[in-house]
Amino acid sequence: MKETHAMKTAAVIVAAGRGLRAGGDIPKQWQPLAGRRVIDWTIDAFRALPEIHRIVVVLHSDDLALLPESGNIAVAIGGETRDASVQNGLLALVGHGIDRVLIHDVARPCISAEVIYRVLENITPTQGAAPALAVSDALWRGRNNRVEGPLDRTGLYRAQTPQGFDFDAILAAHKSCSGTAADDVEVARQAGMAVAIVAGDEENLKITTPADFARAETILKKTRAGKTMDIRVGNGFDVHAFCDGDAVTLCGVTIAHNRALLGHSDADVGMHAVTDAIYGAMAKGDIGQHFPPSDPQWRGASSDIFLRHAVEMAQKQGFNISNIDCTLICEHPKIGPHAMEMRAAMAAITGLSIDRISIKATTSERLGFTGREEGIAAMATATLVAV
């Protein structure tokens, strides 16, 4: 069966500015906030999400030594303008197979996973998405500290980041942009792209003045630093009998064998166990409840459909999948030579890094149905952490 392309998402965090209005002796992104630096909170908000495959931080050339090296974070040098800095960040992603990109200001450290997901859900090849808040206060036009008259607030929004786009489209838009744009939405619209407005968050403030640090610290202590962690663990177990055939599919990898596995779908016993573990961690039942075997549309279906559904449900429920551990129980075929390929396949489906996925095998010492080579069993554990 043809594999579905796994969407790859990157984040560009713009951190090359000097931030003079925020006060202090150093740029605001390097100033302390709730026990850490502003930039640390911002980076970790994206690094915590399994959907973000790569992060590029755009820094001033004087600040390169301030960001420790990290395997999944690349650095680009800022330009003379914000437009130039963003373009340099985008160029650093070329060649990495990125499909869509989120562009975020480092000075918004209180960004939530919920806002990020709303943006991601509305990105298409021809449409970007950005969070915003409708203007609710009365607006005046003034001069010399005197009111000259009201302004109509109908249709006005306060823009926020991250702003998300199809990667190729926004890179082309930046390359063709003339003049200085206020943000990436303006760049996209100059290039003829539509941009959807999604609900922003009052707590997604941009640190601009010294007073903003106190407000941001209150938010972070409430929503992150002081939050009781919600960690869920789920278990999955599945069994499939052998039948006539010449190959089995295990954890997304087809292995030549003198038998096949019997099942309503493709009988991927390992992927089924992992899927049930994720459902179990959320107390959301099992595969049979979401994809009934009595429904003919799932006959012969690729099991990655089930696993993707469980992963998406976890995300919508506000969970990150921290790690997956799967054990395949069989005498044959031998799993060891294929374990790394299985881990890679599962990583592509779940969006997790491969070092968060364990796939191993054991025998039952010739005991029971697996020992008699009547079938294969699998058990799995998944850990979910609330965002």
CATH code of 15's domain: 3.90.550.10
DSSP string over 73-121: EEEEE--SSHHHHHHHHHHTTTTS---EEEEEETT-TT--HHHHHHHHT
Q: Exposed, middle or buried: residue 248 (CB in 10 Å: 0-12, 13-18, 19+)? A: buried
| pLDDT of residue 347 exceeding 60 | yes
CB 190 within 8 A of CB 103: no
Indicate if 180 and 243 belong to the same structural domain.
Answer: no
Per-residue b or e along 124-154, where b marks 16 or more CB atoms closer than 10 Å to that residue's CB: eeebbbbbbeeeeeeeeeeeeeeeeeeeeee
Indicate if 199 and 72 belong to the same structural domain.
Answer: yes
Indicate if 162 and 266 belong to the same structural domain.
Answer: no
Q: How far is CA 12 from CA 45, 73, 76, 337, 383, in A?
A: 12, 10, 9, 37, 28
Q: Exposed, middle or buried: residue 48 (CB in 10 Å: 0-12, 13-18, 19+)? A: middle
Whether pTM exceeds 0.85: no
Question: Which of 225, 241, 261 is where one domain is finished?
Answer: 225
| Mean pLDDT (whole number) for 343-354 | 92
**Looking at 33-37, 52-56, 176-180, 341-345, which range is the least confident one?**
176-180
| Overall number of domains in the chain | 2
Indicate if 261 and 187 belong to the same structural domain.
Answer: no
CB 90 within 8 A of CB 170: yes
Inside any domain, residue 4: no
How many angstroms separate the CA atoms of 299 and 253, rounded?
A: 19
Length of the chain: 387
DSSP run (H or E) holding 167: helix 167-176
Max alpha carbon distance in the chain (Å)? 90
Q: How far is CA 188 from CA 80, 115, 127, 184, 260, in A?
A: 20, 20, 9, 6, 51
CB 384 within 8 A of CB 282: yes
Instruction: Give 326 or 182, the one with higher predicted confidence.
Output: 326
Inside any domain, residue 353: yes
Q: What is the number of H-type helices and E-type strands within the chain?
A: 11, 19
Omega before residue 162 within 30° of 0, cis: yes
How many angstroms separate the CA atoms of 36 and 249, rounded?
A: 46
DSSP run (H or E) holding 157: strand 157-159
Inside any domain, residue 103: yes
| pLDDT of residue 102 exceeding 50 | yes
Q: Strand 319-329 and strand 357-362: pairing?
A: parallel
At 1, is the pLDDT very low, low, confident or very high (cuts 50, 70, 90)? very low
Backbone φ and ψ for 270, nearest 5 degrees, come out as: -65, -45
Indicate if 23 and 136 belong to the same structural domain.
Answer: yes
| pLDDT of residue 3 exceeding 70 | no
Question: Which of 158, 191, 225 is where one domain is finished?
Answer: 225
How many angstroms separate the CA atoms of 220 and 202, rounded?
A: 13
Indicate if 38 and 86 belong to the same structural domain.
Answer: yes
Indicate if 68 and 200 belong to the same structural domain.
Answer: yes
Inside any domain, residue 157: yes
| Mean pLDDT (whole number) for 19-28 | 78
Q: What is the rounded average pLDDT for all residues in the chain?
A: 91
CB 31 within 8 A of CB 15: no
Non-local (6+) Cβ contacts of 360 within 8 A are: 326, 327, 328, 335, 339
Kindly report, residue by residue over 141-197, the tens digit of the pLDDT: 999 999 999 999 999 999 999 999 999 999 999 999 877 888 999 999 999 999 999
Whichever domain contains 377, its CATH number is 3.30.1330.50
**Looking at 60-69, 123-132, 140-149, 378-387, which range is the least confident one?**
60-69
Indicate if 180 and 288 belong to the same structural domain.
Answer: no
What does the block give as tokens for 252?
A: 């997304």
Q: Domain range holding 58?
A: 9-141+150-225
Indicate if 83 and 219 belong to the same structural domain.
Answer: yes
Kindly report, residue by residue over 181-239, the tens digit of the pLDDT: 889 999 999 999 999 999 999 999 999 999 999 999 999 887 765 555 678 999 999 99
Indicate if 30 and 170 belong to the same structural domain.
Answer: yes
Inside any domain, residue 270: yes
Kindly report, residue by residue over 262-316, the tens digit of the pLDDT: 988 899 999 999 999 999 999 999 999 999 888 888 888 899 999 999 999 998 8
Indicate if 54 and 160 belong to the same structural domain.
Answer: yes
How many angstroms separate the CA atoms of 338 and 69, rounded?
A: 32
Q: Strand 100-105 and strand 231-243: pairing?
A: unpaired
